[in-house]
Amino acid sequence: MDARLLVDHIPSLRRYARALTGNAWAADDLVQDTLERACSKWRLWVVGSDLRAWLFTVMHNIFASQVRRTPPPHAVVPLDDATHELHGGIDPGSDQGTGLDLQRCLLQLPEEQRAVLLLVTLEDMSYAEVAKVLGIPAGTVMSRLSRARVRLQELLDGATAPHRPGLRRLK
């Protein structure tokens, strides 16, 4: 095989992993594990088939097993909040700030919804490709996508609204 084929996909794997985990170190660890797994299972890739889809499948399987092993997904949140505060302190109102809000809200989505939303938007994958990568039926892709978009919108609207705990509405 040609290493350069794989190398071309590293930047998009890194971006997806970063958005999925919300943590730069965890993301690069995930990419590294993916590359190592891909190298050792290289013969499972059917030459001529979509390499990108295969790599994302490998990454998804690793991520899913990590999530199963480490149940508290919110363990990363405090760190991100800390980073967020520091960023806000230096450069308030910059685009960076909204990016961090977006990332924070993304992390509040269930993993399976986050994965669908990111593969569709960041990676521009077709719904059929997403179904294949995640190993789920096409109908499930659509329902997860729908729930992810609606929920993320609610979270974003909540994040940008002024924080007034007294006025929070209870369902």
Give the interface with another protein as residue ranges (CB under 8 A): 1-4, 6-7, 10-12, 14-15, 18-19, 23-25, 28-29, 31-32, 35-36, 39-40, 42-43, 83, 86-87, 89-90, 95, 98-99, 102-103, 106, 117-118, 120-122, 124, 126-127, 142, 145-146, 149, 152-153, 156
Please report how close the Cβ of residue 44 comes to another protein at its closest, in angstroms. 12
- For 127, other C-beta atoms within 10 Å of its C-beta total 15
Looking at the chain, how many residues does it have?
Answer: 171
Please report how close the Cβ of residue 90 comes to another protein at its closest, in angstroms. 6
3-state secondary structure of 102: helix
Please report how close the Cβ of residue 102 comes to another protein at its closest, in angstroms. 6
Using an 8 Å Cβ cutoff, are 97 and 80 in contact?
no
**Which residues, 6 or more positions from 168, have their beta carbon under 8 angstroms from its beta carbon?**
none
